[in-house]
Amino acid sequence: MKSSENLLVTTMEEANEPSMAISKALRFGVGGQHCETGEGNNYSIIKEYIQLRTVMNMLFDQNILEPLSGLVATAIELDKIKKIEKYQ
């Protein structure tokens, strides 16, 4: 497996981790802790997000993906906020 493929697979795996951490927080509370590690659910969600962001940045740094312009990224963020707020 090429380095770029390995990094894409790693990104795919990391993209699933926040979902699992959020699921645990929904089941046991954001303030809850993992029974074996003692790691808090709040901490776990943020840690998994940072790890995903890190591998995404590696994809950009290694020119595997081309980052979007700031204006495009902001437009995507604002569109997502609008969609979420519509159903709250």
Query: Which pLDDT value is given to residue 60?
Result: 97
Which segments of the chain does DSSP mark as H helices, in order?
A: 3-28, 41-61, 70-86
Residue 35, pLDDT above cutoff 80: no
Angle of helix 3-28 relative to helix 41-61, nearest 10 degrees, comes to: 160
pLDDT score at 36:
81
Output the pTM of the full model.
0.88
Give yes or no for a contact between 17 and 50, defined as CB atoms under 8 angstroms apart: no
Mean pLDDT taken over the chain = 95
Tell me the domain boundaries of the chain.
Answer: 3-86
Which candidate, 59, 62, 70, 60, places its Cα nearest to that of 10? 59
Whole-angstrom CA distances from 68 to 14, 35, 50 are: 21, 40, 19
Task: Give mean pLDDT, residues 3-17.
Answer: 97
Q: Is the pLDDT of residue 41 over 90?
A: yes
Position 1 scores a pLDDT of 82
* Dist CA 79 CA 62 (whole Å): 28
pLDDT digits (tens, 9 = 90+) for 68-83: 999 999 999 999 999 9
